[in-house]
Structure 1
Amino acid sequence: MTNTTVFRIGGDLEVRRIGYGAMRLANAPHERGGMTAPIWTAPTDRAESVALLRTAAGLGVNLFDTADAYALGANEELLAEALHPHRDEVVIATKVGVLRPSPTEWITHGHPAYLRQQAELSLRRLGTDRIDLLYLHRVDPAYPLAEQIGALGQLQEEGKIRHIGLSEVSVAEIEAASEIAPIAAVQNMYNLAERGHDPVVDHTAGRGIAFVPYFPVARGEFAADGTPVAEVARELGATRTQTMLAWLLHRAPNVLPIPGTSAPDHLAENVAALELRLSEEQFERMS
């Protein structure tokens, strides 16, 4: 499969296929690791975080991902500050639909009025009059899907958002949502070790919908010495992280990984993966 380096979200927002997930730019650097990181306050190393985001843009990254729930909106404010000089060159995606009553709680809330309110707040924090891509952070079973997608559709009709996305959804949910409003992107957890959303990748690829895997790099034993990942990395003269990102890029032409990091060297490593090419044999061996 040809690994093209760009994709058009919604048919018109052209982005390079490795983006940047900004969620981890919160709290103190030592608090950012693991699946239970609080993502609760603005980063204590704000100047370094701003510099990192600008470095990413300088390296050609033009898809940045955030959410209103990340550090209670401080993450959006950070991106607005950092990317202001590049605003016409980048796509900023954000999300609404999750409550954060404490550092350890992430609670789905899809009341249509709440979704519209949070979008208005995101517009203010991002310093823009239109959000490039707004995701429903989670589908809330307490409210009809038609009302949740309808709220985002209303914002789209008002010109306040350009494209609508969904996060952590099934093929059936994508199909149901698509009957209410056009869906431009889907963001699910997916990597070499977490393949439960293979049907979603195939479904979105067939319909020109962007598939944005978060936590795109598998950790631990999956990439240890002697594994197919390690072998292919050696053959390519690449790092194991780069090789796993290259696998995602090869998986389907609509896949847009958004690895996050607060280290400039890791950032450059991730972006460079865009130039790697796997053979079909290497892809199948890793798969």
Structure 2
Amino acid sequence: MTTSRIGFGAMHLAAAPAEARASAIAVARRAVEIGVTLVDTAHLYGWGANEELLAEALHPYPDNLLITTKVGVVRTPDGGEICGRPDVLRHQVDEALRRLRLEQVELLQLHRVDPDVPLADQVGTLRELREEGKIGRIGLSEVTTAQLADARTIVDIASVQNRYNVLDREHEAVLDACTAASITFLPWRPVHPLLTAPSIVGTAAELGATPAQVCLAWLLHRSPVIVPIPGTTSIRHLEENVAAAALTLTDEQFERL
């Protein structure tokens, strides 16, 4: 399956009030208009409201558009908590299909590994849902190299979504494992909020680009399996983010960063 090199993270799109919803729908539609073919959402984002928003904005979906969502977090009086029980995962997948108006989620990701449920039960449930035709591909989020390796003994893993950017490389080993195995790596928070480092600012000046674009270009240079999913509520920032795919860093600029 082929996607655009830069995707879109829909987490920040507001489903309410009406004015904010209309603006969010315009951003989602503009993303697809300018060539984004991977849009990331989750049950957690508004407890399904974000999925419904994307369906309103983009359904019927273009044939090349991949809407990926995540399950495995439940709502609680205090906010939310990780829950990977098979019955919960099954219910949330069914709800995602209904909200997104899909017969199959092409890429379904486990939002977090539940430490209180055997990994084999969590990933095994997703494998069963794939066999039932409700899921096309299975991904993981915020996993260690050991968890990724264990999951791959149970089912094929198509993607990993961990936090990663030029200033935050905690999951470097996971990225390397994904690169070696040709597993798509979807870094969330691909642009660190602190962009005043001299190397970033200097490289941006050399390229006539923004610091955020430099950070995205660095990710694309870092590994061929990386598909950043920057999120924004601004059409201007969206267009800047997508344009970063056209930037090419020299090897010297890459090493400097």
Q: Is the 8 A contact 1:96 1:119 kept in 2?
A: yes
Offset, 1:98: 0.5
- The answer to whether 1:122 aligns with 2:63 is no
Aligned residues of 2:73 and 2:80 also touching (Cα < 8 A): yes
Structure 1 residues 87 and 81, CA, compared in 2 at 3 Å: closer, same or farther? farther
**In the alignment, does 2:140 pair up with 1:171?**
no
* Counterpart Cα distance in 1 of 2:60 and 2:128: 30
Asked whether the equivalents of residues 14 and 24 of structure 2 are also in contact (C-alpha less than 8 Å), the reply is no
User: Cα offset for 1:106?
Assistant: 3.0
In structure 1, the partner of 2:5 is 17
* C-alpha contact (below 8 Å) 1:98/1:106 kept by paired residues: yes
SS in 2 for 1:238: coil
Could you tell me which runs of 5 or more consecutive residues in structure 1 were left unpaired when the two chains were aligned. Answer: 1-12, 29-41
Deviations 1:243-267 (A, max 9, x none): 0000011010000100000111000
Q: Which residue is equivalent to 1:196?
A: 170
> Corresponding residue for 2:76?
101
Q: How far is 1:85 from its partner?
A: 4.1
The one-letter amino acid paired with 1:16 is S
Deviation of residue 86 (structure 1)? 3.4
User: Is the contact between residue 43 and residue 49 of structure 1 (CA under 8 Å) also seen in structure 2?
Assistant: no
Distance 1:124 1:73 in 2: 10
Instruction: Give 1:217 deviation, angstroms.
Output: 0.4
129-138 vs 18-27, which deviates more?
Answer: 18-27
Q: CA deviation at 1:17?
A: 1.2
CA contact (8 A) 1:26 1:43 kept: no
User: Secondary structure at 1:70's aligned position in 2?
Assistant: coil
Amino acid at match of 2:216: L
Alignment gaps of 5+ in structure 2:
none
Amino acid aligned to 2:244: A
Q: 1:66 & 1:19 partners in 2: Cα distance?
A: 11
1:98 and 1:138 in contact (8 A); partners too: yes
CA distance in 2 between partners of 1:197 and 1:168 (Å): 9
Quick one: which amino acid aligns to residue 76 of structure 1?
E
Name the aligned partner's letter for residue 236 of structure 2: D
What secondary structure, in the 3-state scheme, does the structure 2 residue paired with 1:235 have?
helix
> Which secondary structure state, in structure 2, belongs to the residue aligned with residue 92 of structure 1?
strand
Instruction: Name the residue aligned to 1:84.
Output: 59
Q: Within 5 A, what are the aligned runs for 1:231-246? A: 231-246=202-217
Q: Distance in 1 between matches of 2:242 and 2:58?
A: 17
TM-score by length of 1: 0.87
Aligned residue identity for 2:40: D
Match runs of 1:244-283 below 5 Å? 244-283=215-254
For 1:89, what is the secondary structure of its paired residue? coil
Query: Structure 1 residues 177 and 43, CA, compared in 2 at 3 Å: closer, same or farther?
Result: farther
> Deviation string for 1:10-60 (max 9, x for gaps)?
xxx2101100000011266xxxxxxxxxxxxx7751111111111100000
The separation in 1 between residues aligned to 2:184 and 2:173, in whole angstroms, is 14
Shift of 1:184: 0.2
Partner Cα distance (1:87, 1:44) in 2: 26
Amino acid at match of 2:38: L
User: For 2:109, what is the secondary structure of its paired residue?
Assistant: strand
Identity, in percent, stands at 51
Q: Secondary structure at the match of 2:155?
A: coil
* 1:259 to 1:43, Cα distance in 2 relative to 1, 3 A: farther
Tell me if structure 1 keeps the 8 A contact 2:6–2:36.
yes
Counterparts of 1:43 and 1:25, CA distance in 2: 12
- Check whether the contact 2:41–2:51 (CA below 8 A) recurs between aligned residues: yes
Alpha-carbon offset, residue 89 of structure 1: 2.4
